[in-house]
Amino acid sequence: MYDQNYPDKVDQQLGIERQSPQETDDIIDIRALFMVLLRRKWIIINTALFCSVLSLLVLFQLTPRYTASAMLALETRQNQVVDVQAVMSGIGTDVAAIKTEIDVMTSRRLVGKTVDALGLMKDPEFNGTLNTEKSLLSYLNPVSYVPESWKRSIVGEPRSISAEEQAERERAQVIDAVTGRLSVSNPARSYSILMSFESTDARKAARIANSLADLYLTDQLEAKFEATQRANEWLNERIFDLRENVRSSEVSAQNFREENQLIRSGSAGLVSDQQLTQLNTRLIDARTDLARTEARYSQLSDIADPAADDFEGLAEVLDSPLIQRLREQQSEVLRSRAELGTRYGPRHPRMINVEAELVDIDGNIRVEIRKVVNGIQNEVDVARARVRALESSLQQLKTENIAVNRAQVQLRELEREAEANRILLETFLARFKETTNQQDIQQADARIISRADTPIAASFPKKKLIFILVIFAALGLGVGLAFLLETLDNGYRTLEQIRTDLGLRGVGIIPMLASNKLQGTSVEDYLLSKPSSSFAEAHRNVHAALLYSGPRQNTPQIIMATSSVPGEGKSTFSLCYARLMAKSGLKVLLLEADLRRPVVHARLNIEGDLTNLVSVLEQTGPTTQQLYKDEASGLHILGGKGHPDPQKLFSSEKFTGLISWARDNYDLVVLDTPPVMAVSDSIVLSHHVDAVLYVVQWETTPKKSVESGINQLREAGATIAGTVISQVNIKRHQSYGYGDQGYYYGTKSGYYSN
């Protein structure tokens, strides 16, 4: 029996190492990518040709356009004719300010002024209602072929509008068209602005660009003039109101001053404040004198006491002229008493007189001291009275001054209001004079540094550049389509692809024979008439792959050919393979196990009521004499016949006996079986054979179908010896450069006589 691990052993003997899908995905095969481009070269070429021709047609139908550019520079320094602040300051130089100026240049207001100034409403280039010419591209618009009645039925009847509204709409459309042709930009790190305009007429483009630049500068001057004029009008109205406010506030302050008798004495302030200050000063002086007088009186009162001993040292006593004279007399009397005491006794009359005189002088001194004390007492009383009088006057003046101060608070408020109104009036008067002088010296914040010249060459379309870009884009599109089609390709072309995806070894590829080679003969007859052809050699390669790829004892004897879906060439392969092997001298039996659609009898033009597989299984066992023998090759054939339940026949013991009988009597038995995805007969038959050959049609059979069929056989325990790719277009296969057997089956090899 055939070893089920035979294919894996063959791979090991051949040194083939299967890679996991993850390993193959991580490897980028540059040659494989190149071969994809080679296989899909006509897709790439046709895509490039189609896009190139289409681009040429479009380019030559496009109307040339010319672009004229004017350059303006924003003034970063302003000429100050007079040193005053402008009503409208100059524009800034930051990005936002420059962007704002660009928005002004492209605004509908400025573009509308240009449209009106140049009369662009009458220009068919911008007013579509005046343009009746149609280009070739307009015929490609499917809407142009829709009848007007259909359009009205779908959209509805248009609303009737007045002539004025229609004119406004046309003007808005012209402004949109002009704005679409206008381009304004700011070069990097520059205060300049590039204003470009595109038109089908070169002179018109330059004229419109220069007109836009001039109108922009004029618009700036008009904006400043209008702002200054509005400022003057507002200042004039405001000054009139301020004059009335100043007059009213000053009159109110003066009336309040008169009502409250708030009389001022020059720059010294109010009279009441001056009086209060003077009276307060006098009161302070009076209190000082009173304190000094009371202090003297207190000291003299103590000294005038008869028990006092040191009254002579008092300043008031010492300063008194009378006391000074009395003390001089006292000194003389004392000197006399001293002289008389040396000569007389104390009872001497002269001594007694001297003593009496001393007593008299001393009494006079005390009298004088008392007079001094009494005088000081009078001074104290006078000082106290003066202080009381001043305090009374000060208190009365304070009471009056409080009322004055209260009135003065309101007066100051009135004066501040009058002063504020006066200052505001003076400020507005000065500003009014400044703005009046600015009306005649306004200057724009930008200037034209380069006017637009009439362009010589068209700026659109750049035919050479666009054509080159289209070619590159078309090539890229073609390459993308090539890889897309390759990705969407759902068929197998090489045995290596099947090995990579399904892990099955390939045993051969069968070329597809063109009608010019067959020349009216059948494929089976061509095989025998051209034994040295590449078609015959392909079948020999399949047999060699099965016969000599492994040990001799593992060579399969009973082989089953099946496929995924009908039409893949499994029956043709089975018949050709069996005839070729029989022609080579082997004793071969072909069993047509496809009882659903038997084709062998029709292929070989077998006529007559011959023994078939159904009759053999339902009646008696086969014999060699009952089989049909192909005289051209010596092949024995047991054809098929339609049967309602083939699986019942294939599961019977008679069929098992048939296979045993065939194994004993033939060198090779080939079973032509139905497709796996169509019916399940092949699943049952796979348990009676040594090996299964899975036929896949080149480039046609879906990969999922092949994978599903293989999985069904594997799950059923079938021994799949390998795959055969049938109906290979050798010329296309050869041009793909796969480098396998199919490359040498073409005309480049001298080994074959096709």
pLDDT digits (tens, 9 = 90+) for 451-504: 999 999 888 888 888 889 999 999 999 999 988 887 777 888 888 888 988 888
DSSP string, 30-89: HHHHHHHHHHTHHHHHHHHHHHHHHHHHHHHHSPPBEEEEEEEEE-SS---SSSS--SSP
Residue 663: φ, ψ to 5°: -65, -35
Where residue 360 falls among pLDDT bands split at 50, 70, 90? confident
The token pair that represents 295 in the structure block = 């202090």
Fold of 494-744: Rossmann fold (3.40.50)
Alpha helices in 320-461 (DSSP H): 321-343, 349-438
Q: What's the rounded Cα separation, in Å, for the pair 365 and 227? A: 103
Q: Distance between CA atoms of 571 and 555, rounded to whole angstroms?
A: 22
Report how many helices (DSSP H) and strands (DSSP E) the chain contains, helices first: 27, 12
Cα–Cα distance for residue pair 226/510, rounded to 1 Å: 93
Distance between CA atoms of residues 742 and 734, nearest Å: 7
Q: Report residue 312 as tokens.
A: 């002579």
The single-letter DSSP state of residue 612 is: B
* pLDDT for res 455: 92
Instruction: Label residue 567 left, alpha or beta by phi (over 0 means left) and psi (-120 to 50 means alpha).
Output: left
Give pLDDT, residue 607.
72
pLDDT of residue 309: 47
Question: Does residue 15 have a pLDDT over 50?
Answer: no
| Residue range 382-422, pLDDT digits in tens | 888 888 887 787 777 777 667 776 777 777 788 788 888 88
Residues listed for the chain = 754
Distance from C-alpha of 656 to C-alpha of 649, rounded to nearest angstrom: 10
pLDDT band (50, 70, 90) for residue 139: low
User: 242 or 717: which carries more pLDDT confidence?
Assistant: 717
Strand, coil or helix: what is 139?
Answer: helix
Tokens of 472: 């590159």
Report the pLDDT value the prediction gives residue 110, as an integer from 0 to 100: 93
Contact 695, 574 (CB under 8 A): no
CB of 594 closer than 8 Å to CB of 678: no
- pLDDT single digits (tens) 662-712: 999 999 999 999 999 988 888 999 999 999 999 999 988 999 999 999 999
CA atoms within 13 A on the CB side of 329: 16
Pair of tokens at residue 30: 């540059």
- Does residue 8 register a pLDDT over 60? no
Cα–Cα distance measured from residue 612 to residue 626, given in angstroms and rounded to the nearest whole number: 9
pLDDT over 70 (residue 246):
yes
Distances from the Cα of 582 to the Cα of 174, 273, 522, 594, 645, angstroms? 89, 151, 18, 21, 31
For the stretch 594-606, pLDDT in tens is 888 888 888 887 7
The residues near 449 (Cβ < 8 Å, ≥ 6 apart) are: 71, 72, 73, 192
Q: Quick one: average pLDDT of 510-531?
A: 83
In the numeric block, which tokens belong to residue 386? 């003066």
pLDDT at 314 over 60: no
- Whole-angstrom CA distances from 447 to 72, 85, 224 are 6, 21, 15
Q: How far is CA 281 from CA 268, 389, 517, in A?
A: 16, 14, 148
Q: What's the CA angle centered on 724, arms 38 and 747, to 5 degrees? A: 50
Residue 111 or 624, more confident: 111
Q: Which pLDDT score, from 0 to 100, does residue 452 have?
A: 92
Residue 265: per-residue pLDDT? 55
Average of per-residue pLDDT values in the chain = 80
Does residue 496 contact residue 682 with C-beta atoms inside 8 Å? no
- The predicted pLDDT at position 91 comes to 56
Quote the percentage of the chain above a pLDDT of 90. Answer: 25
CA dist 61 to 134, 201, 585, Å?
11, 17, 73
Pairwise CA distance, residues 324 & 638, whole Å = 189
269 pLDDT more than 70: no
pLDDT digits (tens, 9 = 90+) for 295-312: 777 766 665 454 444 445
H/E element holding 226?
Answer: helix 202-259
Q: How far apart are CA 343 and CA 703, in angstroms?
A: 179
pTM over 0.85, yes/no: no
Q: Residue 721's closest CA among 545, 551, 570, 575?
A: 545
* pLDDT higher at 139 or 336: 336
How high is the pLDDT of residue 21?
Answer: 45
CA nearest to 7, candidates 672, 501, 554, 717 = 554
